[in-house]
Structure 1
Amino acid sequence: MTSAPLTGRTVLVTGATSGIGYETACQLAQRGATVLVHGRTADEAQAATDRLIATAGVEAGQLCAVSADFTRLDEVETLAHRVVGTHPHLDVLVNNAGMAAPERHTITADGNEIAFQVNFLAHYLLTSLLEPALTSAPGGRVVNVSSALHRTGNIQWSDPNRTKRYSRLAAYAQSQLALTVFAADPRVTAVSIHPGICDTALLPLYAHEGATPAEGAAHVVRLCDPATEIVNGAYYDRDQHVDPAPAATEIRSVQRLNKLASLLTGHTA
């Protein structure tokens, strides 16, 4: 079965220079979408777009390299303003950028635990600032690339930076739970997905072997397709719509998370 073309669709993929993000950008572009390829630096983003053009048969006009270091919220804000200025209509935002929490407790220059900021707060801020572009026409959606490990997480509301008790696995799980809870925010239609255990930089958190990044990306791309009907706040384990952790759908959790994220990012939705 041949996948339907996505010509005319514009998609921003964060963390698109490697792994699932790169393969997601590749598959979207091969189906005709215009893809904003995000990297941590301008050089990394440009290198990824050059590679897509050289090896994936993608036209240069379909790609736009954009950059922001998610450990710096001011760069996230600059990225959002640039995207809205150059692409006032955005069909899909794929919140894919992520990192494993480091062994040693690390705080960013913005004052946040690094995994919580990179995996969740930066995406919260980016999504909030891109809301005008995502809602400029019907059908805009957000796809949060989360993790099955969100089920083991809990959000430390009074100590989200985990200064009192730090564990890299707990910090990572907290960031993934927050990203999954965020999908239930009513402002922009959003879903979360665990793309499966894939052979990426995050593999050591899960197992010794996994599926290819391209296989994981295919599940993400399916949710970017307007032919795939979605319900706000839905959670997918690969191609199966399943229930997330109970905390991910609690209205109180959504409200508390929005309040916390607004405080930590300095952005009031």
Structure 2
Amino acid sequence: MSVFDLSSRTVLVTGATSGIGYETARQLAERGATVLVHGRTAEDAQAATDRLIATAGIDSAQLCGFAADFTRLEEVEVMARRVAGEHPHLDVLVNNAGMAAPERHTVTADGNEIALQVNFLAHYLLTCLLEPSLTTAPGGRVVNVSSSLHRTASIQWSDPHRARRYSRLAAYAQSQLALTVFAADPRVAAVSVHPGICRTDLMSLYGLKGAAAAEGAAHVVRLCDPATEIVNGAYYDLDQRVEPATAATEDRTVKRLTKLADLLVGHQA
């Protein structure tokens, strides 16, 4: 992978305190980008920025911490307002934060199944709120960190929270399919990427050996480079563009998901 200069770019990375998110933030900063480091709490975000400065030698001026617990949509809204206020020209939003669905059916205070909210709805809301900042920047784009497990999923339109029939793998896969479908939304230029099976907190879903998180992050970082041309809605498996699940490219599905997501997050596009 060539080393490219991102010194003029500002990138927000969600879930940047560990795993692929942390490594994505590190690699972006090493290439000169200003990186907005998102963590669940302010303490988590600060710890990640301190670690980047101490162990990776990143200039503190390149880093800024932001906090929001994605199980609380109000916190996502507050963070989005702060990002837009402090960084009105945002080049890239990396929607990376994610969780494995729990063994037992769990609903957030907002009334959403927790994996659906953390992995998709929070990112949907954040992207919608930051749309003006992204679209005013030349080459502005969204990179959704998805999963190959989206191919096993179906969106339960009549029961998106899976209250009637819950399985953790099905709930996780549904959230990843929704995130992949969202990349085809015409409001912003966006792509999805499966960064490979890496040694992160999500590896238990695959039950296989994984690569280092840095290897997965490299595939995300490549898509942040303005020299990498993208097609809206494209899906990448590692560094190869491949066709996603059929549902992810259907215009009807994109429109239906937008309507559902707007309802669940209380946002009007």
CA RMSD after TM alignment: 0.7
In the alignment, the residues of structure 1 paired with residue 32 and residue 114 of structure 2 have an alpha-carbon distance, to the nearest angstrom, of 35
In structure 2, the residue matched to 1:40 is 40
Deviation at 1:2, TM superposition (A): 4.4
Q: Please name the residue that 1:180 is paired with.
A: 180
CA distance in 2, matches of 1:64, 1:158: 40
Residues 20-69 of structure 1 show CA distances to partners (whole Å, capped at 9, x for unaligned) of 00000000000000000000000000000000000001000000000000
Distance 2:66 2:138 in 1: 25
Q: Which residue of 2 aligns with 1:209?
A: 209
AA partner of residue 47 (structure 1): A
1:120 & 1:208 partners in 2: Cα distance?
24
In the TM superposition, what are the counterparts of 1:113-132 in structure 2 within 5 Å?
113-132=113-132
The whole-number CA distance in structure 1 between the counterparts of 2:89 and 2:43 is: 25
* AA of the residue aligned to 1:93: L
Q: Deviations over 1:181-215 (max 9, x none)?
A: 00000000000000000000000111331100000
Q: TM-score when scaled to structure 1?
A: 0.99
- 2:208 and 2:125 map into 1 onto residues whose CA distance is 33
Give me the whole-angstrom Cα distance separating, in 2, the residues matched to 1:237 and 1:118.
22
Deviations 1:59-109 (A, max 9, x none): 000000000000000000000000000000000000000000000000000
Aligned equivalents of 1:192 and 1:136: distance in 2? 21
TM-score of the two chains, using structure 2 as the length reference: 0.99
Cα distance in 2, alignment partners of residues 258 and 130 from structure 1? 16
Match of 2:163 in 1: 163
For residue 144 of structure 1, give the secondary structure of its aligned residue in structure 2: strand
Distance (Å, rounded) in 2 between the aligned partners of 1:268 and 1:122: 14
Q: Structure 2: which 5+ residue stretches go unaligned? A: none
Aligned residues: 269
CA distance in 2, matches of 1:149, 1:233: 17
Which amino acid letter does the alignment assign opposite residue 42 of structure 1? A
Q: Is the 8 A contact 1:101 1:168 kept in 2?
A: yes
Deviates more, 1:61-70 or 1:199-208: 199-208
Secondary structure, counterpart of 1:227 in structure 2? coil
Cα distance in 1, alignment partners of residues 29 and 172 from structure 2: 30
Structure-to-structure mapping, 1:1-269, within 5 angstroms: 2-269=2-269
Any unmatched runs of 5+ in structure 1?
A: none
Query: 1:197–1:207: 8 Å Cα contact kept in structure 2?
Result: no
Deviation at 1:8, TM superposition (A): 1.1
Per-residue deviation, residues 139-169 of structure 1 (Å, max 9, x unmatched): 1000000000000000000100000000000
Q: Distance in 1 between matches of 2:17 and 2:36?
A: 11
